[in-house]
Amino acid sequence: MIEIVAEALENYARRGVFRGFSRGAVRAGKGTFRMVWHYDRIFEFVFDLRKSTMRIPLVLPDVPAASPMYTAFREFVKSRHSDELPEHRRIDSLKARVQASNRNGNVSLTLTLSGDDYEYAARKLIHLVHEVFLTFLQDGSYYEYMVETFGLNPEGM
């Protein structure tokens, strides 16, 4: 099963979605992968076969748990399960559920599989993170956050 997830992630790397990609060791049914992705940050992807979860421990740094941004983020994640979204953008609740969590200001995403479609789950989690950066953060409300957190040039945005 870890090979299925690895192949799905490696496919994104081959297509140039990630600027860097590496596989970590597999221990006790847990595989870890690292990719250089949005704003040249390193993202970790952890697949736990025993728990049937895929997790990205740090999607967004420096987001206070009690902030309006985190509330909006959780709503955004929840909305990805909506039947109102086109099928290719929706996460099928019968196959997987995604939840956001916040630990000391570090926002993570955890996908829990309902079956054994590991490729589907890996693709949906990657697509969701991509949407976070291309849709959620780009709506205009998080300009200051992006400049401060990712060191973006305000004149180039």
User: Cα–Cα distances in Å, from 154 out to 40, 136, 157?
Assistant: 17, 18, 5
The domain locations on the chain are 2-150
**What does the block give as tokens for 95?**
């196959």
Measured from the Cβ of residue 74, the count of other Cβ atoms closer than 10 Å reads 15
25 pLDDT tier (thresholds 50, 70, 90): confident
Q: Tell how strand 53-60 and strand 96-103 pair up.
A: unpaired
The domain made up of 2-150 is a member of CATH 3.40.50: no
Per this entry, what is the length of the chain?
Answer: 157
Please work out, in degrees rounded to the nearest 5, the angle formed at the alpha carbon of residue 7 by the alpha carbons of 6 and 11: 120
156 pLDDT tier (thresholds 50, 70, 90): low
Query: Mean pLDDT, the chain, as a whole number?
Result: 94
Q: Which residue has the tokens 């949407």?
A: 131
The region of weakest confidence among 61-65, 80-84, 149-153 is: 149-153
pLDDT tens sequence across 58-76: 999 999 999 999 999 999 9
